[in-house]
Amino acid sequence: MIRVLVSDPISEQGLGKLLEADDIQVDIKPGLPEEELCNIIGEFDALLVRSQTKVTAKMLEHATRLRVIGRAGVGVDNIDVPAATQHGIVVINAPDGNTISTAEHTFAMMMAMARKIPQAYASIQRGEWDRKTFVGVELNNKVLGIIGLGRIGAEVAKRAQAFGMTVLAYDPFLSPQRADSLNVKQCTVDEIVQQADFITVHTPLIKETKYLIAEREFGMMKDGVRILNCARGGIIKEEALIQALKSGKVAGAALDVFEEEPIAKDHPLKDFPNVVLTPHLGASTEEAQINVAIDVAEEIIKVLRDEPFKNAVNLPSLPADKLRQVEPYLVLGEKLGKLAAQLVDNPVTKIEISYSGDISQLEVAPVTRTILKGILSYHHGAEVNFVNAPLVAEQSGIQVVESKTGKHSVFTNLIGLEVTTPHQTRRVEGTINNGFGPRIVRLDGYAIDAAPEGRMIVTTHLDQPGMIGRIGTILGNGNINIATMQVGRKEVGGKAVMVLGIDNAASSEVVREIAEIPNILEVFHVEL
């Protein structure tokens, strides 16, 4: 039985598909302390979290069965993603489900700050009727600077234009076409901070965005600027904001997120009458919580059932149609990797992968991963998988070179794989042959045609009369049936390659006997 642990409060309505699956048992245990999570995590195949559970490297040390961590939301900063990758655990998120909620919350915060609504409400609650203190500003004709124009930033831009604002935007991945289609003016961060009346950030919190807005940027801003953060605490430096509020440079701030959450009871930001604070509520709508739970539950089921999934944050993301196009090559790639690994000694120092013909037009990153997995799992064991194979290669100091060439002179599609160790370089090539599926078509440049499956005896030898017969006799004496045979050579009497498909495993004794035949150069017992 597949077991899933839900360790944060997540909409049960959204989790429907997981809860209804016959082969999946779901344990809902929100709020467990780290110690207890460490004790039980080893029993689960999947972990589903929101933002409270901290998925630490320490916890992952105990997660011996875990295949996937699902985050019901966008930000994965509560998950140690590098540690998950190291353990070969897929991390998926639900990036779309709370976009509108967070964009609307940003807007609610902007309006609340501009019109001092929370302060006016608090005054009414105190029994006052004060119509002088709470004079606000209009959004109309103001300049809004958006830093980070992804899903949420773009929705904020649309709403701002409906309110008559001019929108400036900075995002390193913003194309001029996208900027045009969203009717925003592309600017640098410096231009934004100098020109905007309102500034809002919608980036993830990463090395490049930590303290993106700090003392220097506040110093460049217009007097009376208003600041919003509904993304992550730490993109705007709180200490610098506090100083800018004190000096009067900043006329208002609206914050949903903080450098430390929950904020301290005596947090200085609470003391400013012109600051509006909410406790990380951007995604807190009924709709968003159902949406993210549905999205993440569906994705977790796909990962657990080995079906294609799309929202992994530690894998190259590929739309489903593109993934379908490369699917046949995934099997071929892994088999070529396994074959090459069994034909070379250790340590592997370089892996060169070339894609020719049809496949060179496709997104090959997943194929490269399966090739690396095929090679590395032979030496590193089951802990190497699709998720961590590139990392294991890097950590092992293996140089990985990927290239694409156009049409191939012989094959409509071809994957070439060259594996180098300090003592040798070996090249295997494979194709997808319409009607015949994956085929190994060359070994060290010798033409062969073999299905990459089952057990094989692979030899290199000198092409001389009687070689095939002698090998056949040894295998026959060992009660090993030959299912298929392929011999490739370049010239009569020269070096040749033989690939024998065999029905049962050959003992090391049998392999040694073959190796002792005169003019046998190498013999390998291969299992694919």
Ligand X SMILES: O=C(O)CC[C@@H](O)C(=O)O
Ligand Y SMILES: NC(=O)c1ccc[n+]([C@@H]2O[C@H](COP(=O)([O-])OP(=O)(O)OC[C@H]3O[C@@H](n4cnc5c(N)ncnc54)[C@H](O)[C@@H]3O)[C@@H](O)[C@H]2O)c1
Strands 198-201 and 225-229: parallel
Q: Which residues pair with 459 in a beta bridge?
A: 498, 523
Q: Which of 5, 149, 276, 372 binds ligand Y (CB under 6 A)?
A: 149
Strands 425-433 and 437-443: antiparallel
Q: Give me the sheet containing 90-93, strands edge to edge.
A: 24-28, 2-6, 46-49, 68-71, 90-93
Secondary element (H or E) of residue 113: helix 99-115
List C-alpha distances in Å: 416 to 205, 356, 441: 40, 8, 10
234 binds ligand Y (CB under 6 A): no
Where does this chain touch ligand Y (CB under 6 A) — which range of 145-153, 260-268, 419-427, 519-527? 145-153
Q: How far apart are CA 513 and CA 372, in angstroms?
A: 32
Where does this chain touch ligand Y (CB under 6 A) — which range of 147-155, 354-362, 385-393, 445-453? 147-155
Of residues 47 through 86, those in contact with ligand Y by CB under 6 A are 74-75
Residue type, 399: Q
The nearest distance, CB 67 to ligand X, in angstroms, is: 22
Which one, 151 or 380, has the nearer CB to ligand Y? 151
Residue tagged 């998720």 (tokens) = 387
Quick check: helix, strand or coil at residue 174? coil
105 binds ligand X (CB under 6 A): no
CA angle 9, 11, 12 (to 5 degrees): 105
Which one, 51 or 314, has the nearer CB to ligand X? 51
**Do residues 528 and 339 touch, judged by C-beta distance below 8 A?**
yes
Residue type, 332: L
Where does this chain touch ligand Y (CB under 6 A) — which range of 141-149, 313-321, 361-369, 468-476? 141-149
Q: How far apart are CA 17 and CA 7, in angstroms?
A: 17
429 binds ligand Y (CB under 6 A): no
Q: Which of 102, 311, 354, 360 binds ligand Y (CB under 6 A)?
A: 102
The nearest distance, CB 317 to ligand Y, in angstroms, is: 11
Q: How far apart are CA 312 and CA 90, in angstroms?
A: 6
6 binds ligand X (CB under 6 A): no
214 binds ligand Y (CB under 6 A): no
Which one, 8 or 256, has the nearer CB to ligand Y? 256
Residue 411 interacts, among ligand Y, ligand X, none and using kind-specific CB cut-offs from 5 to 8 Å, with none
Judged by CB under 6 A, how many residues of this single chain contact ligand X? 10
The nearest distance, CB 10 to ligand X, in angstroms, is: 9
Catalytic residue list: 232, 261, 280
Of residues 171 through 210, those in contact with ligand Y by CB under 6 A are 171-173, 202-204, 208-209
Residue 119 interacts, among ligand X, ligand Y, none and using kind-specific CB cut-offs from 5 to 8 Å, with none
232 binds ligand Y (CB under 6 A): yes
Of residues 55 through 74, those in contact with ligand X by CB under 6 A are 73-74
The nearest distance, CB 266 to ligand X, in angstroms, is: 24
145 binds ligand Y (CB under 6 A): no
Which one, 73 or 153, has the nearer CB to ligand X? 73
Quick check: helix, strand or coil at residue 461? strand
Of residues 455 through 474, those in contact with ligand Y by CB under 6 A are none
Residue 88 interacts, among ligand Y, ligand X, none and using kind-specific CB cut-offs from 5 to 8 Å, with none
Which one, 46 or 257, has the nearer CB to ligand X? 257
Q: How far apart are CA 184 and CA 179, in angstroms?
A: 5
Q: Which residues of 410-437 are buried (b: 16+ CB within 10 A; e: fewer)?
A: ebebbbbbbbbeeeeebbbbbbbeeeee
Residue 172 interacts, among ligand Y, ligand X, none and using kind-specific CB cut-offs from 5 to 8 Å, with ligand Y
283 binds ligand X (CB under 6 A): yes
Return phi, psi of residue 527, to 5°: -125, 120
51 binds ligand X (CB under 6 A): yes
Q: Which of 98, 342, 354, 377 binds ligand X (CB under 6 A)?
A: 98
How many CA atoms does the CB half-sphere of 203 hold within 13 Å?
A: 25
List C-alpha distances in Å: 295 to 16, 72, 291, 292, 311: 11, 8, 6, 5, 9
Residues within the interface to ligand X (CB under 6 A): 50-51, 73-75, 98, 280, 282-284
Residues within the interface to ligand Y (CB under 6 A): 74-75, 95, 98-99, 102, 147-153, 170-173, 202-204, 208-209, 230-232, 256-257, 280, 282-283
